[in-house]
Structure 1
């Protein structure tokens, strides 16, 4: 059992190569989750598979899962413009961050 405050949770946004689709998710292992999105099970009908959202452009770190889930829901409720502003404040050129995590 982990000590309180030592958990790692991430809220993240993925996009496709042309940066036209945004996907928001939450995970406790960002690197592994991106790998799963990029290498889905055969015949997967998942949103990220369908729209080829494999490129990390934004993430936030949390120590508490309830707070992370609340933030994920908040971001999912944002308009496209508000999501773009959030991404640009964190990653101004929308560079793909997959290799830097």
Structure 2
């Protein structure tokens, strides 16, 4: 039996969707389908389908006026889950709560 490498287990559609999400940046927070297709080396129809799927799940939003896409709130939900499980977040919990009580302000780590 032939041993399969790790790359054999990748789904190209998932890989492309993640590449698409990672293409957004502070310098380019909004992008058009055409721009995404060109930068990712994908067809416009593929990018449109990926964006449609990501939009349905809240990972991207489309501006109806400019027809540009930007990251959606689902990204923040994942970030919140990841951040709350960081060791520094867990270890600093008591100190952060004490500080919030003392200064009566919101604290973000």
Give the TM-score taking structure 2 as reference length: 0.23
Q: Choose between structure 1 and 2: higher strand proportion.
A: 1
Q: Choose between structure 1 and 2: higher helix proportion.
A: 2
Q: Which has the higher contact order (CA 8 A, sep 6+)?
A: 1
Give the TM-score taking structure 1 as reference length: 0.24
Q: Which has the larger radius of gyration?
A: 2
